[in-house]
Amino acid sequence: MKNYKKIHDNKEVADNHVSKIKKSNGKVKKSILKNGKILLEYSYPDKNIFFHGSNQPLNLTINSKPIFLTQDENYAKEYGRKIFKYKIDFKKIFDTAKDKNAVKIYNQFFLPYAKEKFKSELHRFIEMKLGEHVHFITADYLWLFLRISKRNNNDFGYDGIIVDEGFFSVSKKSRLSYVPLDIIQVRLV
């Protein structure tokens, strides 16, 4: 976690800065200096740190099913008494909310594969639009598709998936999970 300090001349500017810091999941302490200026001391979480709530640590030797991690420690607590902290260095994450190519791959390659392979589950597979995250119900299937594609030399270049767990989360901020494609990316901290 990197720490920052910033001095502002007026309250309005300082309050706007505090709002931006909090929107980015930062922590901030506000102090009034003797000269009347406002000191903000703030930090942002490490973007490579993720949490997994469980009653036991992940088995980092088995790579047969996806693991769901979150950057919100409180959300991880909803899944188990013990919270495990992991570091993952994602290089290129499959994010249909921001990446047009991910949406194209989902709709043009994954959907036909899923509809053919999992016919009894057809109701789960709907077309994605830019701005939407992969839904948790289809995440396992997409994870499998991307891993098989990589193994068959049809690698799309992604090393993880951002998944919307939607109604499982208490706050909108914490409803996203990150799913690495390969367990070797994950290190216990």
Q: How far is it, in rounded angstroms, from Cα 29 to Cα 73?
A: 21
How many angstroms separate the most distant Cα atoms in the chain?
A: 70
Residue 176 — φ and ψ, nearest 5°? -90, 135
Written as tens digits, the pLDDT of the chain (189 aa) is 678 999 999 999 999 999 988 877 788 999 999 999 999 999 887 788 999 988 877 776 667 888 899 988 888 888 888 898 999 989 999 999 999 999 999 999 999 999 999 988 888 899 999 999 999 989 999 999 999 998 888 889 999 999 998 755 555 555 889 999 988 888 888
What's the predicted TM-score (pTM) here?
Answer: 0.75
Contact predicate 57/83, CB 8 Å? no
> Taking the domains of the chain in order of start, what are their residue ranges?
2-44, 49-188
For residue 65, CA distances in Å to 38, 104, 116, 128, 143 come to 50, 24, 20, 23, 8
